Amino acid sequence: MTQSPENSGRETPVPSAATLEKELEKGWKDHRSGVRPSSVSSITDDDGEGRMVMNFGPQHPATHGTLRSIFTLEGESIVEADVEIGYLHTGFEKLGENMTYQQWVTVSDRMNYLSAINNNVGYSVAVEELLGIEVPPRCAALRVIMCELSRIADHVLCVGLQGMDLGAFSVMLWAFEKRELVYDIIEAVCGARLTTSWTRVGGIMRDVPEFFPDLVYSFLDEFPPIIEEIHGMLLNNKIFVDRVKNVGTVTTEQARSYGLTGPIGRSSGLDVDVRRDRPYLGYENYDFKVPLQTEGDSFSRYMQRMEEIEQSLEIIRQAMATLPKGEVVHDDFKTSLPKKDAVHKDMESLIHHFKLVMLGHGIRPETGKSLYSCTEAPCGELGFFIASDGSDTPYRLRVRPPSLYNYGLFPRLVEGGMISDAVAVLSSFHVIAGELDR
């Protein structure tokens, strides 16, 4: 195939269109006859020992994204499982090395599209810690409220999908309907629904609208009944309980050694919660419990999420009651943009604006400074490692996505079970392909 540059395009004749077509036709025929086995016995006996190798994804209705698992089956039982990741690799981390600190916020919400706000906040908190600035109290409280709303949306969707994957389709749609309430609030606050890009380094994009408290309070009234409804549909149902009890059991030891965090880690008895252990945004001021389960099976993951929803509702109630007034953006204009009005009228502000926007003058942490900062996303600990080389863009931006670590244990859990168990486990793990592959 390699051609030396001097005779390229000269001595090798360009094949005619008809020849090309013939080649293609032949190749296609070979391809088709080559890859498709021609008898049923050859698809059931992949390894010569009567075992069948089945692809579970990357395109499969139960994987909710481009995850791929490879199961070696003996009948319906999985004797060996393996996962392959990277089907949704998007280079988010590499993008971070080429975008300014402020710009990467928009990328962070593409990572976990089901809880975009939490990603925005997690990233902004990391950069703020790197710069050593603190956001105003109103901004912190609003971030907490929106994070918890987003967590509720994520958890309730996961629980609904857990029902759907086991066949209870209606539960998913009921959950979806109530999730819309959260999305209404998100839409009112930042204009977008899914890819929010709501936070800025040092604050949020703008203050919330006046009717924001009404929206949140009506949400607090309307949402809780769905918890009872879902419990009524699933918890009282022997079929559901039998499907998820003692399925995919994670021991505390496994959870610790595989780095499981979030609801999955807590449901197996690992008592970690970044909100409590390493408070950020004033989480220490709110009174909330961290629920724990001990069994570690799919059922306890379901219970864990439902209990966490209640705690999140509690946090929102407290935060709404004590929501301070004031600015929502850090007032140091070395890092945050001044108001547009001021830019039009005021020389100082114009200069700040110009310097922040132009490359080479914006947010530039000290050379060699680096840190790891983490927040509690709905799936688990969402960490960012940022290393600065003193320029406008980070030298390295590394994300610790909870889904990657959670998914690592998945093949060990499904081995020995049946295909149906794999579905029950995967749906309770709530793996987001976007953040898994970054």
Partner 1 sequence: MSDSGSPLMDVFFAILRAVVIFAAVLQVVPALVYFERRLAAWIQDRIGPNQVGPVGLLQPLADVIKLAFKEDLTPEGVDKWIYRLGPALVYAPAILAFTVIPVGMDLQVASFDVGVIFLLTIGSFSVYGLAFGGWASNNKYSLLGGLRASAQMISYEVALGLSVIAILMTAETVDLNSIIRQQWAAGTLGLLQWNIFQQPLAAGIFLVAAFAETNRLPFDLAECEAELVGGFHTEYTGLKFAMFFMGEYVAMITMSALMVTMFLGGWSLPWVEIPTTPGVGDIALSIGIFMSKLIVLLFFYIWVRWTLPRFRYDQLMGIGWKVFIPLSLLNLGLTALSGVLGWNWLIPLPW
Beta strands in 154-284 (DSSP E): 199-200, 203-204
Judge contact between 154 and 115, C-beta under 8 A.
Answer: yes
237 lines the binding site for partner 1 (CB under 8 A):
yes
Amino acid code (one letter) for 304: Q
Q: Which residues contact 258 (CB under 8 A, 6 or more apart)?
A: 405, 408, 409
Q: Report whether the peptide linkage leading into residue 58 is cis, meaning its omega lies within 30 degrees of zero.
A: yes
CB atoms within 10 A of CB 332: 12
418 lines the binding site for partner 1 (CB under 8 A):
yes
For residues 188-207, one letter each, b for 16 or more C-beta atoms within 10 angstroms of the residue's C-beta and e for the rest, the string is ebbeeeeebbbbbbbbbbeb
242 lines the binding site for partner 1 (CB under 8 A):
yes
Q: Within a 13 Å sphere around the CA of 79, how many CA atoms are in the beta-carbon half?
A: 10
Query: Considering only 99-107, 240-248, 296-304, 365-373, which stretch makes contact with partner 1 by CB under 8 A?
Result: 240-248
5 lines the binding site for partner 1 (CB under 8 A):
no
Query: Considering only 81-89, 172-180, 185-193, 259-267, which stretch makes contact with partner 1 by CB under 8 A?
Result: 172-180
166 lines the binding site for partner 1 (CB under 8 A):
yes
Residue 387 β-bridge partners = 370, 396
33 lines the binding site for partner 1 (CB under 8 A):
yes
Among 28, 169, 217, 354, binds partner 1 (CB under 8 A): 169
Helical segments of 5-59, H only:
17-35, 40-44
430 lines the binding site for partner 1 (CB under 8 A):
no
234 lines the binding site for partner 1 (CB under 8 A):
yes
Between 23 and 177, CB nearer to partner 1: 177
37 lines the binding site for partner 1 (CB under 8 A):
yes
* Burial (Cβ within 10 Å: 0-12, 13-18, ≥19) of residue 307: buried
Among 93, 148, 273, 421, binds partner 1 (CB under 8 A): 421
236 lines the binding site for partner 1 (CB under 8 A):
no
Residue 47 C-beta: closest distance to partner 1, Å? 14
Residue 132 C-beta: closest distance to partner 1, Å? 49
Q: Which residues contact 427 (CB under 8 A, 6 or more apart)?
A: 62, 64, 158, 161, 162, 164, 165, 166, 298
Among 233, 320, 323, 371, binds partner 1 (CB under 8 A): 233
CA distances from 342 to 204, 350, 359 (A): 18, 8, 22
Roughly how many angstroms between the first and final C-alpha of the chain, as a whole number?
A: 34
Among 20, 24, 79, 173, binds partner 1 (CB under 8 A): 173
Among 138, 243, 275, 353, binds partner 1 (CB under 8 A): 243
Among 174, 283, 299, 384, binds partner 1 (CB under 8 A): 174
Between 103 and 420, CB nearer to partner 1: 420
Residue 381 β-bridge partners = 376
CB atoms within 10 A of CB 20: 11
* Burial (Cβ within 10 Å: 0-12, 13-18, ≥19) of residue 342: middle
Q: Six-digit token pair at 70?
A: 């490879």
Query: Considering only 194-202, 274-282, 299-307, 418-426, which stretch makes contact with partner 1 by CB under 8 A?
Result: 418-426
Residue 10 C-beta: closest distance to partner 1, Å? 41
CA pair distance 307, 292, nearest whole angstrom: 9
Among 177, 284, 332, 366, binds partner 1 (CB under 8 A): 177
What is the chain's alpha carbon radius of gyration, rounded to the nearest angstrom? 26
How many residues touch partner 1 under the rule CB under 8 A: the total is 39
36 lines the binding site for partner 1 (CB under 8 A):
yes
Query: Considering only 195-203, 341-349, 369-377, 415-423, which stretch makes contact with partner 1 by CB under 8 A?
Result: 415-423
76 lines the binding site for partner 1 (CB under 8 A):
yes
Q: Six-digit token pair at 185?
A: 């609030």
Residue 175 C-beta: closest distance to partner 1, Å? 11
79 lines the binding site for partner 1 (CB under 8 A):
no
Query: Considering only 39-47, 250-258, 292-300, 319-327, which stretch makes contact with partner 1 by CB under 8 A?
Result: 39-47
Query: Considering only 95-103, 111-119, 122-130, 413-421, which stretch makes contact with partner 1 by CB under 8 A?
Result: 413-421
52 lines the binding site for partner 1 (CB under 8 A):
yes
Angle, in degrees to the nearest 10, between helices 169-190 and 137-165: 160
Interaction site with partner 1 (CB under 8 A): 32-33, 36-40, 43-44, 52, 54, 60-62, 76, 163-170, 173-174, 177, 233-234, 237, 239-240, 242-243, 418-423
